[in-house]
Every structure is written in structure tokens, then in C-alpha cells.
Amino acid sequence: MSVSDSSVSIGACDVTVVVSGPPYFQNGYIVRHRPSGEVVIIDPGAEPSRFVGHVEAAKGHLLGVWLTHGHPDHIAGVNGIQVALDVPCRASIGEEPLLARASDWSMALTGSPLAGPRDCDYFDGEPGLSFGGVPVKTVPCPGHTPGGVTFVFDGFAFTGDTLFNQGVGRTDFPGGDQRQLWHSIGGLLDVLPGETVLFSGHGPQWTVDEARQWWRMVS
């Protein structure tokens, strides 16, 4: 069972949501900058062919795969995408231990092996990413995992499993830290404009203004 893909336009970009099947229903994303044709894939957890199909249909320039964090449900499609399209993968250096043991993590969580990224370019701090000629801010968000990040584009952001629509990431896995996660969420909501659309690793999108209102009630 899979969920139909959907798309939304924000400013000069189209964001396609590719949702994996049960049990995780993980959100992977394809972002296309219409004027330049640049494309980036965020957290591909569904079948690689679904992402490859969207990229080929867009006929743009794929910059690579960017990961908010390294849990198996968010990286299941990376290896197949790299094999098909020969593109780099980028992740925080804090996620290297997770990605290096991707198959072990997958066996522990799902009972099935997983081929992790063929290779990954690890960054420490602000990696200086850009998309469509506009800088993409990379906000460190440790707590769910040690090296989790949020990618902030022009008008929207990808929070991975740091923050969901009225929910937060779990911290009971190795490397999780609830105090860090709370600090990360508060700091993230402080710096982003209220109209910013937040796309998370699971569940529907919402805005920073909506998230702030909910966060004040629960934190």
C-alpha cells in the first residue's frame, strides 16, 4: 500500500510529497525551483523509483539528496536514487554513525536489511547550501538524533522528525535527548518567520505561526 503523491507551490518552488507505505507513512520530498530547473530530494523514504520518476519528469538539474537525519525510514530510497541518477548525498557529521550502520538500524527496527547511501558528503556547521540562487539555511536541531537539522528554504522548511504538526520526535532511541529536542524546537520557532510552511517527516504541513501557538500550550 502506498499513498498518492501530492504537490504544492510556494513562491518560485514546487514541493512534491512522496509518502511511504505502512507502518511509517514517512514524508519524502522533491523540491523544484521553476525558474532555474534545479531540483533537490529531501529524506527519501519511499521506493527509489517514485523519486526518480518525478525527477525525470521535471527534466531539471538534480543537485542531490539532503538528509535531515539518518533513521532508516528517511533514507530507504537514497541508495537506489544514487545508483539510478549518480548524485551526492549530504548529511550532518553527527549522523555519520547512524548512516554507517544503516542496515543494522533497519534490522533492529523493521527486521529487514537496508542498503545505506553509497557515499555521503558530511558537513559540520553551516554547509553553505543554495537553491535557485538563494541560500538555504541549515539549522542544527539535535534531540531526536545527535545531528538532526532543519533545511530552511525561501518560505518553507523541512523539519524531519524534530517537529511534526502538533507533535515532536521521539527521544528514546540511542542518541536521543529530550532536553536538547525541546531547546531545538524553541530555538527554531524563534528564528523563522510566522508564515513559513513547515514540512515534517510524518503527517501534514503547517505554519510556524500555528506551531508557535501549539508549542506555547505544550512546552
Structural domains of the chain ordered from first start: 6-218 (3.60.15.10)
Q: Taking the model in full, what pTM does it have?
A: 0.96
Which stretch of 36-45, 83-92, 118-127, 156-165 has the lowest confidence by average pLDDT? 118-127
Question: Rounded CA gap, 40 and 180, in Å?
Answer: 28
Q: Convert the pLDDT of each residue in 7-32 to its tens digit.
A: 999 999 999 999 999 999 999 999 99
Contacts (Cβ under 8 Å, ≥6 apart) of 35: 12, 132
Residues 153, 199 contacting (CB under 8 angstroms): no
Q: Convert the pLDDT of each residue in 88-125 to its tens digit.
A: 999 999 999 999 999 898 898 888 889 999 989 999 98
Q: What is the pLDDT of residue 109?
A: 81
Q: What is the pLDDT of residue 105?
A: 86
User: Which of 133, 131, 126, 170 shows the shortest CA–CA distance to 149?
Assistant: 126
